Amino acid sequence: MIPLDPLPNLIDQVYARILEAIIDRSLPPGHRIRQNELADKLGVSRQPVSHALHLLHRQGLVSESGRRGFEVTQLDPLRIRQLYEVRGAIDALAARLAAARVKTDASGRAQFEVAVRAGHNIDGKTPLAQLIARDVDFHCAIYRLSGNPAIEEMIAPQWPHMCRSMATVLAELDYRESAWTEHETIAAHILSGNAKAAESAALAHALGAGRMTEERLRASDEAA
């Protein structure tokens, strides 16, 4: 048998590293990406970097800039709010279904409780990347507890864009606390099996986050 080509896995690694830098703003919006420089920093050839950038381009995370170049796309405030409007409807559905299943799905409940406890450990010193990861973990645990895999499948392609938007608000200390207060409210309703209240709290949380993110982005654009 012919040995497998390790390149696809290398492309995935390069893609993940560039995406992480875009989300935490190590590569900020508008940053011109020089493939040679990036390849040197990652210790790889240009080929996997080029493949990874084309994948990011398909997702709208980088755009073409000049001859065969790319730059990190700007966040569109209106587009982000629209994403949160859609996510609000999906999150509301997921929370309602999760509350209905929480007493019969022991494994899903246990995973959800782990995600909730992880949020309790957040403080002013928690790195931004970890804040975002725990936020995503919390919501994904609800999706899994809902018992409907289509929910997580539909949201997955949008997480990179929403993670970028999270960075604009989670960096602020006051929102770190209010976001997890809202998470705890959602969690309490789900764990008690109150489907209607869980649905309402999840919708309010998503729409509120969308409005706040849009406001922060517009304020940043005006200040620039």
Residue range of the domain that includes 81: 77-223
Predicted confidence at residue 19, as pLDDT, reads 94
Q: Which of 17, 52, 72 is the last residue of a domain?
A: 72
**Do 182 and 121 form a contact (C-beta atoms < 8 A)?**
no
2, part of any domain: no
Q: Which of 72, 88, 119 is the last residue of a domain?
A: 72
Q: Which of 27, 49, 72 is the last residue of a domain?
A: 72
Percent of the residues in the chain that have a pLDDT greater than 90, as a whole number: 68
Same domain, 87 and 50: no
Predicted confidence at residue 216, as pLDDT, reads 87
For 68-103, the pLDDT digits (tens) are: 689 999 999 999 999 999 999 999 999 999 999 999
Dist CA 168 CA 212 (whole Å):
9
The structure tokens 């957040």 sit at 122
* Cα end-to-end span (Å), the chain: 57
For 156-169, the pLDDT digits (tens) are: 999 999 999 888 88
Same domain, 83 and 52: no
Q: How many domains does the chain have?
A: 2
Same domain, 31 and 140: no
Of residues 223, 213, 224, the one with CA closest to residue 76: 213
Residue type, 136: V
Same domain, 54 and 127: no
